Structure 1
């Protein structure tokens, strides 16, 4: 909390004065909100439209060209397909704000951007190497996969760390790495559950993940220049996987063509009485994400999809979704049933069975062995720009 005090000898004894703030000072809690309000007002005055799906995204469709502005505090990305319109937008912004044009996007908030005739490549190689260097593991022996298969760690195993701060800082930095590394999301989800009281096995698992990153520091996402725009999704759950609470884990991955655009691993908030119930909760979460992405992609100019394939490996879950009178296993998941069935009836999604060997969402719910992990990772669109062809 900040308190403004008048200058010395400015206030006399007994006076009750109120100070009026003329401008937002850096560091005050209202600064970011006031800044974004001023910037968004200016962009809207330039005929931009603020996205309802993501309020930090602004778009201007002026046929046949479009311009998109993505805002993160005072860092701005401007994307356009018409050089004249793009320059006009940049000039308008410069008239109201002191901005610096640093040219073609190459590095943004720790994310490296590389271009070629094959497409756009996103990675966090420098960020990864900085983490390894800070932990003193820049010369460690690499590992082929991030976590030992079927490893179960709890909050009561092993001695408590004397100083938990390095573990918390490490996991916090690793969470940011998941922006371009969906292959480590499951491991980091497990490690982040012990921030309150980390123990030695938790630190050992984190170091195992760093050894995996040592072998793959330059891996990232390749967005092909020629890519289909069809959407598809994979969802999965690991029933009662948490050894402390016996809650299930939800995992999903959503693709635009061959590129993953959204992924998540999260422990379910309630207990599931069966694997079918856990799978259905995962399907409902994925359906909600698909609905939001539909709104976002519509703002980007993509037409609404028809029947997005949603792949699930549990046959009972598919029956529950397809049959509105299948009540035997739905006593505790009525809300999730309504969400999925509504989108099925609206033809937003269509549910399909997939074998466990090809279920990409397994990467987000289970600690897999080396062969299966590498098999599924190869289908995620993850590439290493620095690796030999």
Structure 2
């Protein structure tokens, strides 16, 4: 649903004055100003005022704001559950009772001027296709527009985002137009919402945003050539299965040849569905591989706590320990054994938050062989065959595949 002139509905809490607009007749009088009682487009207070207004209407209708995401509102009652997701003036409304959905639309229409856009098919550049298997998400139109923008619609497709023998450094001529590189990488970052296959590659090129060279631009163009050949790929959210949370965590110890920092990678499954993933360079240099893995699992734990809170807001409880898969037994021993470790005394206190969650039985570490580690796709460059095998396990599929 779309709210028309959303920012004009906000009520101002501060005293805001503006010059008298042209044509009023008194704009030339010395010292005359207009005091605003309602928000206008262009005010820095307008977005917050609109959010406060919409929140008050939803809360008055029995909704509760999510603790995990302030743009998510949930109402649970005897007749079913309603969920509202807000992005500025666009609302996604879903639930298990159509009468309740229609009643909410009528309530909103009494306060705002709204337009019903029908079933959700396209939202913020993300396309949604419903099928008997579930919900398929991809960004095909976004990719096609991006390729057209950079003049690569006829480029030769690449089989993988990165060459298997790639070593990133500062070689190459500095780019004369840094902003062009930054815009391209920024758009690639947005594509990682539905494309876990390019997450690691985009993470690498984003580390050179302030000093890109011709070599880095070549790598960005290879990612675009890979997208050219996989434009219809996306993520399938299956509509069957369970709600068990599972997390896979890994790190590439000292994998960065420039500063020898490690890369954290993790992904989260709810049942068979991949819901979150991440690839990010760690902020400090790890002295040994177990430390790098320990830091990665600490970051993973924060993601799990947030996701558990979000599921709780949606009425899905997680009463059993969450399985956290790791391929480093030394890290698992550090987390399980509370005794003082000489080699880990320099690790920051916030990283030991992970150990506390293991000891409180919120998490359960599970050893996974390196050959079965799914997160390798987020921490290192893989050969084509292994790359495709992991993508299949993630549920990454083609929109042209039969449902």
TM-score (ref. length: structure 2): 0.91
Equivalent of 2:376 in 344, 362, 375: 362
> Match for residue 304 of structure 2?
290
Instruction: Give the Å deviation of 1:150.
Output: 4.5
> Deviations 1:66-122 (Å, cap 9, x if unpaired)?
000000111110011101111111111111111100100000011001111211111
Q: Residue 5 in 1 paired to residue 19 in 2? A: yes
Task: Please tell me whether the aligned partners of residues 294 and 305 of structure 1 are also in contact (alpha carbons under 8 angstroms).
Answer: no
How many residue pairs align between the two structures?
385
Which sections of structure 1, spanning at least 5 residues, go unmatched? Answer: none
Matched, 1:303 2:321: no
In structure 2, the partner of 1:146 is 161
Give the structure-1-normalised TM-score: 0.95
Report the counterpart of residue 212 of structure 1 in structure 2: 226
**Deviation for aligned residue 1:27:** 2.1
| Structure with the higher fraction of residues in strand conformation | 2
Counterpart for residue 332 of structure 1: 346
CA distance in 2, matches of 1:276, 1:353: 14
1:306 Cα deviation after fit: 1.0
Alignment match, 1:114: 129
Distance 1:386 1:139 in 2: 21
**Aligned ranges for residues 53-68 of structure 1 at < 5 Å?**
53-68=68-83
1:124 and 1:91 map into 2 onto residues whose CA distance is 32
Displacement after TM superposition at 1:165 (Å)? 2.5
SS in 2 for 1:378: helix
Instruction: Give the 5 Å matches for 1:73-152.
Output: 73-152=88-167
Q: In 2, distance between residues paired with 1:28 and 1:219?
A: 40
1:149 Cα deviation from its structure 2 partner? 1.7
Q: CA deviation at 1:6?
A: 3.4
- 1:275 Cα deviation after fit: 1.1
Which whole-Å CA distance do the structure 2 matches of 1:84 and 1:385 have between them?
Answer: 32
- In structure 2, relative to structure 1, the CA distance for the partners of 1:388 and 1:301 (3 Å cut) is closer
Give the counterpart of 1:43 among 58, 68, 79: 58
CA RMSD of aligned residues (A): 1.8
Name the SS for the 1:20 alignment partner. strand
* Structure 2 gap segments, 5+ residues each: 1-15
Structure 2 match to 1:341: 355
Q: 1:7 to 1:222 in 2, by over 3 A?
A: closer
SS of residue paired to 1:276: helix
Secondary structure of the 1:21 match is strand
Residue 379 of structure 1 deviates from its aligned partner by 0.7
